[in-house]
Copies of this chain bind each other. A is one copy, B any other.
Amino acid sequence: MSITIRKLDSTAADFQQTLNTLLAFEAETDDAIETAVANILADVKARGDAAVLEYTNKFDRLPNGGATSMAALDVTQEELQEALNALPESQRAALRTAAERIRVFHERQKQELNGFTYTEPDGTVLGQRVTPLDRVGIYVPGGKAAYPSSVLMNAIPAQVAGVKEIVMVVPTPDGVKNRMVLAAAAIAGVTRVITIGGAQAVGALAYGTATIPPVDKIVGPGNAYVAAAKRRVFGTVGIDMIAGPSEILVLCDGTTDPDWVAMDLFSQAEHDELAQAILLCPDADYIAKVEASIHKLLPTMPRKDTIATSMTDRGALIRVRDMDEACAIANAIAAEHLEISAEEPQQWADKIRHAGAMFLGRFSSESLGDYCCGPNHVLPTSRTARFSSPLGVYDFQKRSSILFVSQAGAQTLGKVAAELAYGEGLQAHARSAELRIESGS
C-alpha cells in the first residue's frame, strides 16, 4: 500500500483549474435509493409502527425471529446507565470530560441569544423571543461507524438549548448494541433511545407513529438512505445539513514538525476514501519533508488502505507563493476544518473569512476538536462554510417576533402601512391599518 500524492504549485498556469477539479464533489443521486426511500416513507406514514417493525426486523436482521413489538425496541434509561457503568474507567472518564467541556462551550453559545425588546416613545414594544424546539430526533448510525462522540455533539446542544424531549434512534444490525454509544446517550441527557434506523426511523420521527411522537427536527449523520429520507421529510420537520465527505485544510508556515502535519492529514483521510486532506505551504523543502513523513508513517496506520486511497484520489500538497496567498486560497476552499499550523497564527486567522472551524497553532490538532475541546464537531462541508455554521445551540432554538403596537403608534404606523399597501394593490391590508387610525381620531 503506497501513496502517490499530488503536488501542486500555485504559480502554475493551470493551477486554478486543477484545484477546482480536485475540490469538485457532487453527491450522486441514486434512483434506486430514491425510490426505495420514497416507498418506505409512504409506508411508515400509512401504517406506522407495523411498517417500522417490519423494516427493522428485515434490514437489521434482528435475531430470534425479530422483535414482535415496538416496546422491544426501546432501550430503557436503566440499560443506558448499565452501559455507562460497564465501561472501563478510563473510557467513562474521557466521555465525561468531553461531555462537560462540550456543555461549557455550548452554554456560552446559549448566553449569546437571549432575545430582546425595546419600547418606542409612543409606547409601542418591539422585540424578538427565543424559544427551544419541543422535541428533536437524533440519528446515530449503527454498526462500524457508530461514534459515541457524535452522540455527545448532537445531543448536548439540544439539551443546553432547553429541548425537553431528545429522541435518539440507532439501528442495531444483527441485534448488536454499541455499549459506548449507549453510555454516551446516558451522559448527554438523551430522553429516549429506540433501536431503529434507516429511512424507516427517519419516517417514524418525522410523521410520528402510535408509539413514537413526531419530532420537530432531525439531526445527525447517516448513510445514503438516511440522507435521502432526511431530504424528503424536510419541511415537515427541520433537518441539519446533509453532510458531504469530511475535509481538512492545513496552512503551514513550515515551522511545525512534519510528522505532526502528516498525521493531521491522515486523521481526516482515515475517515473515508472520499475524505479530503490538503496542505498549503510556501516552503517547498518543508513540503518534501511532510511527504517523507507521509511515506514513513503510512505503514504504521491500521486504516492505511483508506488513508492511501483518500490521499491519492483527493489529497494534495500545494506550494503557495506566501502565507497571504494561502489565506486567499483557504477562503475560496471554505474548508470544514482549517488548521493554521504556524508561528503567530492569529495574523493569518484574521484574514480568513470562511471556515467551519479554525485550529490555531501547532498544538491545536483537529482531533482535539473532534472529541473534547468543546466546540462542535458537526461542521459545514463542501464549501458550505461560505453560508452555514457549525451545529450549535441555535439549531435547537427558534425566534418569534413580538409586535405590541400602542394606540398612538397605530396612528403613525397606520398611515405608512396604508400608503404602501395601496401602492401594492392590497386594499384589505390598507383598511386593516386605517380602521385603527379612525378609532384614534
A-to-B contact residues, CB < 8 Å? 27, 90-91, 93-95, 97-98, 105, 108-109, 111-116, 118, 124-126, 128-129, 131, 133-134, 144, 147-149, 180, 216-217, 235, 237-238, 242, 257, 259-260, 263-264, 266-267, 269-271, 301-303, 307, 345-346, 349, 352-376, 379-380, 382, 384-390, 392, 394, 398-407, 409-410, 413-417, 419-421, 423-433, 435-436, 439
Which residues of chain B have C-beta atoms less than 8 A from A404's C-beta? Answer: 345-346, 359-361, 364
Q: Kindly list 11 other residue pairs between chains A and B, CB separation below 8 angstroms, not including A364-B403, A368-B414.
A: A93-B419, A129-B358, A267-B426, A357-B400, A359-B405, A365-B432, A366-B432, A367-B428, A367-B432, A371-B421, A394-B394
- Which partner residue on chain B sits nearest A125 by CB separation? B360
- Do the beta carbons of B301 and A427 come within 8 Å of each other? yes
- Which partner residue on chain B sits nearest A427 by CB separation? B302
8 nearest A-B residue pairs (beta carbon): A238-B387, A375-B401, A266-B428, A94-B419, A357-B401, A389-B399, A363-B410, A360-B404
Q: When A401-B356, A428-B303 are in contact, do A257 and B414 touch as well, CB less than 8 Å? A: no
When the two chains form the complex, which single residue of B216, B264, B403 contacts A368, counting CB atoms closer than 8 Å? B403
Which residues of chain B have C-beta atoms less than 8 A from A361's C-beta? Answer: 404-405
Q: When A416-B371, A417-B371 are in contact, do A108 and B118 touch as well, CB less than 8 Å? A: yes
A293 CB to nearest chain B CB (Å): 11
CA A436 – CA B261 in complex, angstroms? 11
- Do the beta carbons of A369 and B401 come within 8 Å of each other? yes
Which residues of chain B have C-beta atoms less than 8 A from A149's C-beta? Answer: 420, 424
Q: When A260-B435, A266-B428, A368-B413 are in contact, do A398 and B388 touch as well, CB less than 8 Å? A: yes
Which of A109, A148, A367, A435 is the most central at the interface, judged by chain B CB atoms within 10 Å of its CB?
A367
When the two chains form the complex, which single residue of B116, B263, B349, B356 contacts A428, counting CB atoms closer than 8 Å? B263
Can you tell how many copies of this chain the complex includes?
2
When the two chains form the complex, which single residue of B129, B389, B426 contacts A270, counting CB atoms closer than 8 Å? B426
When the two chains form the complex, which single residue of B128, B363, B402, B424 contacts A436, counting CB atoms closer than 8 Å? B363
Q: When A134-B353, A367-B432, A436-B260 are in contact, do A148 and B387 touch as well, CB less than 8 Å? A: no
- Which partner residue on chain B sits nearest A389 by CB separation? B399
When the two chains form the complex, which single residue of B116, B263, B359, B419 contacts A403, counting CB atoms closer than 8 Å? B359
- Do the beta carbons of B367 and A90 come within 8 Å of each other? no
- Do the beta carbons of B390 and A399 come within 8 Å of each other? yes
Question: Can you show 28 pairs from A to B with CB atoms below 8 A apart?
Answer: A93-B419, A95-B420, A108-B118, A112-B114, A112-B115, A128-B375, A148-B423, A238-B387, A257-B439, A263-B435, A264-B432, A267-B428, A267-B429, A267-B431, A270-B429, A301-B428, A363-B410, A366-B432, A367-B421, A367-B433, A368-B414, A368-B436, A371-B416, A371-B429, A372-B417, A376-B401, A385-B398, A389-B398
CA A357 – CA B399 in complex, angstroms? 9
- Which partner residue on chain B sits nearest A418 by CB separation? B367
- Do the beta carbons of A417 and B368 come within 8 Å of each other? yes
- Do the beta carbons of B428 and A270 come within 8 Å of each other? yes
- Do the beta carbons of A417 and B370 come within 8 Å of each other? yes
CA A96 – CA B327 in complex, angstroms? 40
- Do the beta carbons of A385 and B410 come within 8 Å of each other? no
- Do the beta carbons of B416 and A97 come within 8 Å of each other? yes
CA A428 – CA B428 in complex, angstroms? 65
When the two chains form the complex, which single residue of B27, B267, B403 contacts A373, counting CB atoms closer than 8 Å? B403
CA A307 – CA B416 in complex, angstroms? 23
Which residues of chain B have C-beta atoms less than 8 A from A405's C-beta? Answer: 359, 361, 363-365, 368, 373
A260 CB to nearest chain B CB (Å): 5
Which residues of chain B have C-beta atoms less than 8 A from A307's C-beta? Answer: 428
CA A129 – CA B354 in complex, angstroms? 10
CA A114 – CA B124 in complex, angstroms? 27
- Do the beta carbons of B372 and A403 come within 8 Å of each other? no
- Which partner residue on chain B sits nearest A307 by CB separation? B428
CA A400 – CA B358 in complex, angstroms? 7
- Do the beta carbons of A403 and B345 come within 8 Å of each other? no
Q: When A112-B114, A386-B133, A403-B357 are in contact, do A260 and B432 touch as well, CB less than 8 Å? A: yes
